[in-house]
Amino acid sequence: MTSETIFVKNESGSILVELNLLFLMLALVGGICSQSVQTFFLSYKTLLAELEIARDVRYTESILRRELSYNTAQVRLGQDINGKEQIICRKTNKNVNCYWYISNGILYRKTVKDASTGINPFSNTEIQIQDFQTARLGTDRIGILMTVRHLETGLTRKIPITVSLSNGYVAD
C-alpha cells in the first residue's frame, strides 16, 4: 500500500461527508423556507379578504352616496317591523319611495312607485353585513355604520360612511 492509495481513500470518504453535509443544509434551508412560504399563504388569504371587503364597501358606499345625495328629496331614518334600522327615502321623482335595509346579511333597496315594487340586492354574497346603524348628523347629512364580515376567513371590519344630501334633507 502506497501513500497514494491511502490519500485516494481518504479523499473519497471526505466527499461522502461533504455530500451528507450538503443534503443536511438543503433540508434545513428547505424547512426554514417552507415555514416562511406557509406563513405567506396564510397572510395571503387575509390580504385577499381585506381587498374584497374594501372593494365591496366602496361599491356599496358609492351606490348609497349617489342615490341619497342626488336622487333623494327627503330621508327619514326609521326601523322596520323587526326593529332593524332602515333608511326611508322620498325620491326626487314624484310618488317614488325607496327603502334601504339589511336582510340575511345583505343590503337591499326596495323601490315603491305607485303600485309597483322592485327589490335589488346591493351586497356581495361572500361579504355579510352583520350590523347596520344609522344616525342623523344634521339637516342634510346622515351617518351609516356597517359591520361587514368575510364569510370564508371570518375577517370583520366596521365601516363608517357619511352621506351629504345635495338635493334633499333629513326629516325627523
- Tell me the CA end-to-end span of the chain in Å, nearest whole number: 109
Q: Calculate the CA 67 to chain-centre distance.
A: 22
Residue-level pLDDT at 158: 93
What's this model's pTM, rounded to 2 decimal places?
A: 0.66
Q: How many separate helices (H) and strands (E) can be counted in the chain?
A: 1, 9
Residue 46 region by backbone torsions, left for phi larger than 0, else alpha for psi between -120 and 50, else beta: alpha
Q: Which domains does the chain have, with CATH numbers?
A: 41-75+125-170 (2.30.30)
Residue-level pLDDT at 143: 92
Q: In whole angstroms, what is the distance from residue 143 CA to residue 119 CA?
A: 23
Residue-level pLDDT at 12: 55
Residue-level pLDDT at 120: 65
Tell me which H or E stretch contains 19: helix 3-70
Q: In whole angstroms, what is the distance from residue 99 CA to residue 72 CA?
A: 11
CB count within 10 Å of CB 88 equals 19
Q: In whole angstroms, what is the distance from residue 64 CA to residue 24 CA?
A: 60
Query: Which grid cell is 139?
Result: 339637516
Per-10-residue mean pLDDT of the chain, 172 residues long, equals 52 73 87 80 84 89 85 86 85 81 86 70 78 89 90 90 87 82
